[in-house]
Structures are given as structure tokens and as C-alpha cells.
A and B are shown apart, each in its own frame.
Chain A
Amino acid sequence: MKIGSTLRVVGVIVFAGLVSGCAHVPPASDPAGRAAFLENNDRLEPMNRVMFKIDQAADKAIIHPVISTYHHVVPDRARKGLLTFKHNISEPVTFVHNILQGSPGAAGRTFARFVMNSTIGFFGFFDVAEKAGMPFRSEDFGQTLAVWGVGEGSYVYVPFLGPTTIRDGIGLGIDSFFVDPIAWYSYNPHNAQWVQWAELGLIYVTEKDDNMEALDELRKSSIDYYAALRSAFRQIRASEIRNGAPPPMEDLDAPQ
């Protein structure tokens, strides 16, 4: 089965769920509840919590043990090398979005990173560009849409993939099928199809591994893990879109 058709099936299932699982907006007589509802941007919360439960059950039974084994069996340096390699194959996508966001300087740095790391960085296993003062910065279509003024859309929790938003989910789909050079490579039936599967596996394992420790800690330190994860995810995306600037906290100084 081709990866494109597999993901399309997943997409159809997710969007069928989207139309069925909407939350009730708290009435105007409950201003605090309404404010919290709007701040959390989770119109699909009932469906999302079901998806989250499925995801957590699968995580506990299969994914966490597998990633944990990977974490403990594969030496640190090898895991770091694979993560760097994964970052490197994403640089062409970042480059396209640097341009689409109107940042030619960032595009130049991304290009330089890709050339340096792919050559003297031994096919991207070593991040020599970071040591030369050009740290990794990831851009994607979700961030470009945000820069263009497109709102998040509701928060969405997708089993096995994790948290996203309507905007970022659509962005990921477009990046995966139309921007990523490996997708273009695999559109040619004469080319090896396993390459795209290998890419997917690499992205999945390295990202899960990179986040595992933080997620374990978040789970242990929260009373509503679903809500804490939603908050942390949306803050990280917002921080990426602001390119690292601290978040605004408008009502911190407002009289209560």
C-alpha cells in the first residue's frame, strides 16, 4: 500500500469524527467558563478526549515500551545522530517556508545548514552548522499559514500522532504530500517506495523519543494530563510561530 493512500484513509476517519464530536459553548451566564473555553480553543473536546484515551491505551501497551527500549538500547550518540539526520532531511521543507514567510535571511541560513550538514556533517548525522552559529530552526506550512494570518482552528487530538490543530494538521498534510522532496521522489513508481516509509518511521521514532521524558513528567505532574498537554502543545506552537519570543500574559497585571 502506498503511504499516500494510507494517510488519506486516516484523514477521512479523523474528519468524520470532527463533525460528530463538538463541545457545548458555556452560556453567557458563565463568563469564567466561557473565557476558559475560548482560551483553550478546543471545540472538539468530547471527541478529542475519546481519541486521547485510545492513544494513551495504545501508548501504554505498545508505543511507550518500544520507544523506551529504543531509548535504552541505542547509545545516546547514535540517537542524537538520527535526530540530527531527521532534522537535516526536513531542511528543504523549512527552506520553502522561510521563503513563503518572506524571510530570505533565514532561507539562506537553512540552505547553508543543509549544505554543511549534508557534506562535512556526514549526510546530516552531525550538526556542524549549529557549532558554526546556525542553530536548527524548523518551519512548516502550519507556521506559514499562521504568519499569513490564518487562525489555529480547533485543537485536535489524533491517536498515534498526538496533538495538533486544524490549521497545523492541514499544513502537515500539504507538507507531507506536496512540499517534502521525498514525497515527490516516491510519486515516481520506478523509485523505491520504502524510502518514504523509512522517512515516516524515522520521524515517528525520533520525535517520540525526543518527547518521551518530558511527556512522562508532564503526566506525573498534572491533575488533568489531557488539558496540560493541550496547553503545552499550543504554547510550543505559538512560541515557534513567534520565533521564540516570550508569550504575552495580558491579564496578569489586570485588576481582578
Chain B
Amino acid sequence: MNRRSATFLFAAAVFAPSFAWAAETDPTQFVADFAQKGIVDILAAKVPQAERTQRFRTMFKEYFDLPAIGKFVLGRYSRNVTPEDQSKFDSLFEDVVVYTWARRFGEYNGQSLKVSSSTPDGGDGAIVKSSVVDKGGDNIAVDFRLRKRAEGYKAVDVIIAGVSMAITYRQEYTTVLAQGFPALVVQLQKQVDDLKKQQPT
């Protein structure tokens, strides 16, 4: 459970300059790029919160394969869901993730991401191992699961100290789905509204 979310923000956000030389097809480079952009354009950027949130949303959609994650999160229920419901879910889910992370941008305090290795995963994918290191030297393991798509690598999961974000959302949401798809939509909408109220100004 350790510091699931304190890190899950920084995981996305910090970078390792030593990896800037790596080839573009290198999965470690993909993660390093994402972290570099996150820290320069979002966490360390002196822009209003709304602008940071917008930049994060754009970046998140660029680096993550959201439709694939949405399907995985709905589990076998995704077979019964109409395309309209799936896209409704995808947009609510995007909001949940964006606002969950965005409300903690202000907690960034000089952490850095050290990319350590990449191992093949699921055919043409990879798992990139890294750790978020804070100023006191404490570190937390953060792994990125990547898949190769037509336009290059996309992340499909972030695993923090052994806890996969995709699996956690899936196991939570499929529990709610036992009450039907409309129940999930109602609860996600309420969650998005709550998260919006918690955003710093």
C-alpha cells in the first residue's frame, strides 16, 4: 500500500537526464521522455492549475493507450457494453484519472525518476523498471507496462510498489458493475464532481 498515490503522481512526472541519449525505439527512452515532459511542462511549470491540468490531459492521452486500458478495466463486462456506453465510460475514466493526479501537482518537491531497466512483456511490449527518489534518498519502485502500437510505444499500466493501477481500477469497478453499468456511471460522475471540488485553485 505504501504511498500509492504520493508516488503515482511523481511516477508520471520526473525524469532521468542520463537517458536522454537513448534511441527513440527504446522503451526506457519513452518513459524518460514522459517524465521529462511531465516535470518541465507540468510540475515545475509556473502556469495556473487549469493550464497544468489541460497539459496533463493532453500528455496522458498521448502517452497512454486509454481505450485499451478502458477495455481492460471493464474486464469481461466490456463484451456486453455498447460502443456508446464504452465511450461514455472512457471519458469519465479519463476525467477520474486526470483529476485524481491533478489535485496533487502542488505536492511536487524535487523528486526524480531513475529508470533502471527494460524487459520484454506480452509479445512486442516491455516493462520499464524505475524508481522515484526523493531528496531524503527514500525510493519507491515504479514500473511502466508498455505496448507497441502503430505510432510507437504507449503505456497501458503503472505499477507502484507492486500495485497496478489498471488492476486496482478493474477490480474496484467490476465490483460496482455487479449492480449494472448505469450504477457505475452514476458513481463515476459523482467521483468526478467530488474530485473537481478538491482541485487547488
A7 is an interface residue with CB less than 8 A from chain B: no
Give the A-B pair count, Cβ closer than 8 A.
132
Cβ distance B137 to chain A, nearest Cβ, rounded Å: 9
B184 CB contacts on chain A under 8 angstroms: 223
Contact check: which of A31, A36, A214, A236 meets B3 at CB < 8 Å? A214
B80 CB contacts on chain A under 8 angstroms: 32
Q: Point out which of B77, B145, B164 has the most chain A C-beta atoms below 10 A from its C-beta.
A: B164
Interface residues of A in 6-65 (CB under 8 A from B): 26, 31-33, 35-36, 39-40
Cα–Cα, bound, A249→B175 (Å)? 18
Select the stretch in B23-31, B39-47, B51-59, B68-76 that faces chain A. B68-76
B166 CB contacts on chain A under 8 angstroms: 249, 252
Question: Quick check: B198 and A220 within 8 Å, CB to CB?
Answer: yes
Q: Return the CB mask of B78-106 against A: 1 if under 8 Å, else 0.
A: 11100000000000000000001000000
Question: Quick check: A252 and B156 within 8 Å, CB to CB?
Answer: yes
Cβ distance B44 to chain A, nearest Cβ, rounded Å: 22
A236 CB contacts on chain B under 8 angstroms: 1, 161-163
Cβ distance A256 to chain B, nearest Cβ, rounded Å: 5
What is the interface of chain B mostly: helix, strand, loop, or mixed? helix
Which B residue sits closest to A235, measured CB to CB?
B163
What is the interface of chain A mostly: helix, strand, loop, or mixed? helix
Cβ distance A6 to chain B, nearest Cβ, rounded Å: 26
Q: Point out which of A31, A40, A232, A239 has the most chain B C-beta atoms below 10 A from its C-beta.
A: A232
Interface range for B? 35 or more
Question: Quick check: B6 and A214 within 8 Å, CB to CB?
Answer: yes
Interface residues of B in 110-138 (CB under 8 A from A): 121-123, 125, 127
Question: Quick check: B175 and A227 within 8 Å, CB to CB?
Answer: yes
Question: Quick check: A256 and B162 within 8 Å, CB to CB?
Answer: no
Pairs A-B, 9 closest by C-beta atoms: A239-B162, A231-B171, A36-B174, A227-B175, A217-B5, A32-B76, A228-B172, A223-B187, A227-B172
A-B contact pairs, 20 of them (CB 8 A): A33-B177, A33-B178, A35-B75, A36-B175, A40-B175, A214-B5, A217-B5, A223-B187, A224-B176, A226-B175, A227-B172, A227-B175, A231-B172, A236-B1, A240-B162, A246-B121, A246-B159, A247-B159, A247-B164, A256-B79
